[in-house]
Amino acid sequence: MKKAVVFIIILTIIILTLILTSQKILDMTTSTIETEIVTNSFFPNDLSSYQKSRIAHGGGSLDGYTYSSSYDAVKYYYNKGIRLFELDVEYTSDHMPVMLHSWDGFQYKYLGIDRDIVCTYDEFINAEMINGWTQLTLDSTIRIMKTEFPEMLLITDTKEDNKELLLILSTLYSDLMDRIIPQVYNQDEYKYAKELGFKNIIYTLYMSEDTDDQIIDFCTLNKPFAITMPKSRALESDLATRLSDMGIYVYAHTVNEEAEFEELKEKGVQGIYTDTLM
């Protein structure tokens, strides 16, 4: 009889120990997940919710012109309170990074340079921009971030060699890496950007072939700063909702109507790339 009682006591202690241990592990796991989500939702410079939700697309529309990536567009919207600026980066014929949407006519539209020419760096900076505006290079963009716009955050977009741009940014402008948010176009570029020391990285999906499930798996492991997707993908699938539920900040592009933004919010989108909605 005594042996049976002792056995029951020992068994009860073992069961209680297992329950308490399991609960402790669960609490630790939950804490870790919460920490990752909080870390991932961090925005530099304590931006307001409004500032988080608006990215000036190509610097923002100015006098009806979009994709200018000009100093004047940045100055206009910075003075209005915008802090996140997506600027397009291209390489000149002598392989210097400048702010230009592409060489398929934008050099003529904004700088009067022959649309069939990829010009040199000197030709680019010495060209007269329309409306008396000032064109930007990568170097002059970094300079105004340091001297004129101390809260400006740069989001890069290049259709050329993105890894080379990431290397240039991390090598020449390492003192400003906390204010540079590179966009990457595939998982390999994301890993490369991480290796270079970038902490805040946006994975943009407009050129990605990843399925929704592959994106979810990637974000579960990597917790990127944000995911950006075409508004059509956000509206036609539940990917944005799934990402938002994970604590991933979701942007859609390009959105210039308030009603459209409201519709996207219902699908899990939190912020937009916009030309005019600022």
Q: What's the pLDDT score for residue 201?
A: 96
Using left for φ > 0, alpha for ψ between -120 and 50, and beta otherwise, residue 226 falls in beta
- CA pseudo-torsion sign 140, 144, 150, 156: negative
Among 68, 40, 43, CA closest to 56? 68
pTM (whole model) above 0.75:
yes
Q: What's the pLDDT score for residue 44?
A: 75
Per-10-residue mean pLDDT of the chain, 278 residues long, equals 44 44 40 37 79 98 98 98 98 98 97 96 98 98 98 95 97 96 97 96 96 98 95 98 97 98 98 98
Would you state the CATH architecture of domain 49-90+135-274?
Answer: Alpha-Beta Barrel (3.20)
Q: What's the pLDDT score for residue 42?
A: 59
Give me the amino acid identity at 275: D
Residue 228: its H or E element: strand 226-230
